[in-house]
Amino acid sequence: MSTQKVAIVTGSARGIGAAVARRLASDGLAVAVLDLNADSCADTVKSITDAGGKAIAVGADVSDADSVAAAIDKVVAELGAPTVLINNAGIIRDNMLFKMTVDDWDSVMAVHLRGAFNMSKACQKHMVDAGWGRIVNLSSTSALGNRGQANYSAAKAGMQGFTKTLAIELGKFGITANAIAPGFIATDMTAATAARVGMDFEEFKKANAAAIPVARVGEPEDIAHTASFFASEGAGFVSGQVIYVAGGPRD
């Protein structure tokens, strides 16, 4: 029986999730690349396997408990019991409060918060059985408040409270829970934000970099590096923490 650790990274077809999946695979973990549609995960899986790593594509709606249960069963059958979970799946439905619909609110809450809850609940039993586990939740600097993102900000702040509670409940089983709060990261999602406000993406990045102390925007690999640390053996005494990976102090 292989002793290779198994990780699940949600929302890893592209962007931050894909970078985290690739990094964990390079760290020696077998990785389940999970997104809404398994076909969309092909590029991430191929980049991992081409580099000599082990990965499978898994399609699941993290907001649906039955879909999550089926996905976890597939991971266990094909890779083994997951003991590293990265809750990265997320969507944006930005709008000013007076224009935000109930569906805008509910859909963001469902993917971010219910999704993280469903995945963590399903995976924790495997971690408890193993006596070892790592849960990493993606928050955001938007948790501190961001115009036009009442839903996303609330969800990302919620991820921090969820993380701290998991750390308290699961610590005695050898499981840590931590959160990463990215600042501006160059992804398809931030490109979509640039388009929404009518700005060229390069100009949008330049404008944002001007307000960041390290004078550049973040890349998905910056988040992957932090996730790699949280998932490592050596991070066993770090739990319930939120690291702002934002090029400067934000919290």
Predicted pLDDT at 3? 87
Q: Identify whether 123 is part of a domain.
A: yes
Least confident window among 57-61, 133-137, 185-189, 211-215: 185-189
Predicted pLDDT at 196? 83
Q: What is the spatial distance between Cα 188 and Cα 222, in angstroms, rounded to a whole number?
A: 16
Q: Does 56 have pLDDT greater than 80?
A: yes
Predicted pLDDT at 197? 87
pLDDT, mean of residues 10-33: 98
pLDDT, mean of residues 122-142: 98
Predicted pLDDT at 2? 60
Predicted pLDDT at 1? 47
pLDDT, mean of residues 174-199: 94
Q: What is the CATH number of the domain that holds 232?
A: 3.40.50.720
The mean pLDDT of the chain is 97
Write the pLDDT tens digit of every residue in 199-232: 999 999 999 999 999 999 999 999 999 999 999 9
CB-neighbour burial class of residue 112 (10 A; exposed 0-12, middle 13-18, buried 19+): buried
Helix (H) or strand (E) holding 6: strand 6-10
Q: Are residues 197 and 224 in the same domain?
A: no
Phi, psi angles (nearest 5°) of residue 27: -80, -5
Q: What angle do CA 125, 46, 120 make, to 5 degrees?
A: 15
CB-neighbour burial class of residue 220 (10 A; exposed 0-12, middle 13-18, buried 19+): buried
Q: Identify whether 249 is part of a domain.
A: no
Predicted pLDDT at 58? 98
Catalytic residue among 105, 152, 204, 230: 152
Q: Does 122 have pLDDT greater than 90?
A: yes
pLDDT, mean of residues 96-104: 98
Calculate what percentage of the chain has a pLDDT beyond 90.
95
Domain count, the chain: 2
Calculate what percentage of the chain has a pLDDT beyond 70.
99
Q: Are residues 21 and 71 in the same domain?
A: yes
Q: Does 135 have pLDDT greater than 50?
A: yes
Does residue 244 have an active-site annotation? no
Residues in the chain: 251
Q: Are residues 84 and 208 in the same domain?
A: no
Write the pLDDT tens digit of every residue in 145-182: 999 999 999 999 999 999 999 999 999 999 999 999 99
Contacts of 91 (CB under 8 A, 6+ apart): 107, 108, 111, 112
Q: Are residues 96 and 206 in the same domain?
A: no
DSSP-assigned letters across all residues of 80-102: --EEEEEE-------B-GGG--H
Predicted pLDDT at 251? 67
Q: 80 pLDDT band (50/70/90 cuts)?
A: very high
Provide the domain limits for residue 200: 187-216
Q: Are residues 133 and 208 in the same domain?
A: no
- Beta-strand pair 6-10/242-245: unpaired
CB-hemisphere CA count at 13 Å for 74?
Answer: 18
Predicted pLDDT at 250? 82
Q: Identify whether 31 is part of a domain.
A: yes
Beta partners for 7? 31, 84
DSSP-assigned letters across all residues of 15-72: HHHHHHHHHHHHTT-EEEEEESSGGGGHHHHHHHHHTT--EEEEE--TT-HHHHHHHH
Q: Are residues 204 and 123 in the same domain?
A: no
Q: What is the spatial distance between Cα 157 and Cα 110, in angstroms, rounded to a whole number?
A: 14
Q: Are residues 31 and 98 in the same domain?
A: yes
Q: What is the DSSP letter of 11?
A: T
